[in-house]
Amino acid sequence: MRPASTPRLPVTARVFVQRFSSTPRGARLARHLALHRLDTWGIPYGSTVSDTAALLVAELAANAVTHGRVPGRDIEVLLRLDAYTLRIDVSDSRGERRPTVMAALEAEHGRGLVLVEALADRWGVLDRVPVGKTVRAELDLVPRGERSLAGDDFARG
C-alpha cells in the first residue's frame, strides 16, 4: 500500500498494433513503421531509445518471418509505451519453436537473440492464444530507482 504522501499521476499508455506479411519485406516495414510511430510519440529518430528499438524490432521481426512463418499467416507487431517502459511484442503463428539465447550461441548463424538479451532490460517468450507465440522485449525509459512524478513526461501527453 502506498503512503498517502506520495501521489501518482495517471499513466497514459500509447499502443500501436499492426500485422505484416510474413516476409523479409514485411519485417523491414515493421521496423520502419515502428520507428515512425515512436517518433510521433516523442521518441525522435536517432535517439538511443529509437536506435535500440529499431534493432529489437528488426531482430524479432526477422526471427518471426524466418523461424515462425506459417504460409498464409501474418506476423503482428505491438508497441506499448507508457511513462516508464517501451514494450515490443512480435507474434507469429508457429508455437513449437521456443527461441533461447543458448540455442543462438550454439548456432552457426542467427545470433540475434544475443543482441536482444544484451539490449533489452527484459525479454521472454509467451504463448499466443489461440495459436503461436509472442516474443516480448522491454526497454526501461527511466531506471526503476529514479521513477517519480518529475520524470513522468509521457503520462501527460
Segments of the chain scoring below 50 in pLDDT: 149-157
Grid cell at residue 135: 516474443
Q: Which residue has the cell 536517432?
A: 46
Q: What domains are there in the chain, each with its CATH number?
A: 14-143 (3.30.565.10)
Residue 17: exposure state from Cβ atoms within 10 A (0-12, 13-18, ≥19): exposed
Peptide bond into 130 cis (omega under 30): yes
- Whole-structure pTM value: 0.80
What pLDDT is attached to residue 153? Answer: 44
List Cβ neighbours of 142 (8 Å cut-off, separation of 6 or more). Answer: 83, 84, 151
Q: What is the spatial distance between Cα 1 and Cα 34, in angstroms, rounded to a whole number?
A: 36
Q: Identify the pLDDT of residue 105.
A: 55
Specify whether the CB–CB gap between 11 and 42 falls below 8 A: no
Tens digit of pLDDT for each residue in 15-27? 999 999 999 999 9
Alpha carbon separation from 157 to 3, 40, 63, 90, 141 (Å, rounded):
26, 11, 33, 25, 15
Q: CB count, 10 Å around CB of 22? A: 22
Helix (H) or strand (E) holding 79: strand 75-81
- What CA–CA distances, in Å, run from 20 to 15, 49, 58? 16, 23, 13
